Amino acid sequence: MKRIFYGERDCIDYVNQGKYAFMNWRFGNGMGASDKNNKSQAVSDNYQLGKGYLGNALVELYTILENKNQNSVADILIFPIMFSIWHGLELWLKGSLLALDIIFEQKGKYKKHDICEYYDKLKKELRKENLNFVLDKSLKDVDNIISELKRVNANFDFARYSFTSRSDYQFYNAPRNDDKQWQKEKDSNEKSQNIVPNTCVDMVSLFELILNTYDSFGTFVECLTYVLEKGETITDEGYRDYLDSIKKTKMLFDDEDDNEDDNGIHILLREIS
């Protein structure tokens, strides 16, 4: 039987570690320890997991577009892509809310999968703490995604199952005259009532939007992990300073990594790592 998972006693080839994905390295305190009761660690772990899901969506979208959507493969791969986007945002939204709970000494429960609700709550919390600059810089791209999901009335499991847990239609496969169909044009022709109107995704726009979200919202969640690590608070002025510092660091690394041989996928993988 071919092994998938390897442990410490299974002769991991650390010299050629590029063939492995280490499932624990990005989590915990960075020194091999982990504490399930440490809420700050949960924020950091959610940030890392969210990077994985959103990064996966970006790599898939880039690969499909770069290969000109051969054999219309996007018609089926769009579902795991959309699931990765939904779950990645859910992790970052939950992590952000949990971080704010720790910083401002309050309590909240985040057990559901409703990212629209979490997004509205995060905006409310940022406004309550007068973090208007943070709100403007970090959530403008997420707002676009959430607005689109609301516009089509997307259910949280729309990318996992073609029918809901109550055996109902999703927004994209409901017949023309069904209430779940987001395209509301009614048709009195009985023959056409069971026809499902086309719903498609503009993958170029989606790629650009997720890439921008990875930068704007991801930077905010990353900042929260540093704030918690140092036991500090978050302010508009502090976030401005943080953005300035990472901008200077990025410019430095861009100068050092100026490699004309880098192709698109290499650049993308570097950005999302």
Compute the residue count for the chain. 273
Tokens in use for 85?
Answer: 């986007």
Q: Is the whole-model pTM more than 0.95?
A: no
- 144-173 b/e (C-beta count within 10 Å ≥ 16 → b): ebbeebeeeebbbebbeeeeeeeeebbbbe
Measured CA to CA, the distance from residue 271 to residue 154 in angstroms comes to 29
Tokens in use for 136?
Answer: 């403007």
Cβ neighbours of 13 (radius 10 Å) = 11
Write out the chain's pLDDT in tens, 273 residues.
889 999 988 888 889 889 999 998 888 755 567 888 888 999 999 999 999 999 999 999 999 999 999 999 999 999 999 999 999 999 999 999 999 999 999 988 888 889 999 999 999 999 999 999 999 999 999 999 999 999 999 999 999 999 998 999 999 999 988 999 999 876 666 666 789 999 999 999 999 999 999 999 999 999 999 999 999 999 999 999 999 998 877 766 565 555 555 578 888 888 888
Query: Using a CB cutoff of 8 Å and minimum separation of 24, what contacts does 201-208 make?
Result: 201/74, 201/78, 201/82, 203/61, 203/64, 203/65, 203/69, 203/74, 203/78, 204/65, 206/61, 206/81, 206/85, 207/58, 207/61, 207/62, 207/65
Cβ neighbours of 63 (radius 10 Å) = 14
Q: Do 43 and 110 contact (CB within 8 A), yes or no?
A: no
| Whole-angstrom Cα Rg for the chain | 21
Nearest alpha-carbon partner for 76 in 52, 60, 89: 60
Tokens in use for 43?
Answer: 């924020």
Cβ neighbours of 209 (radius 10 Å) = 17
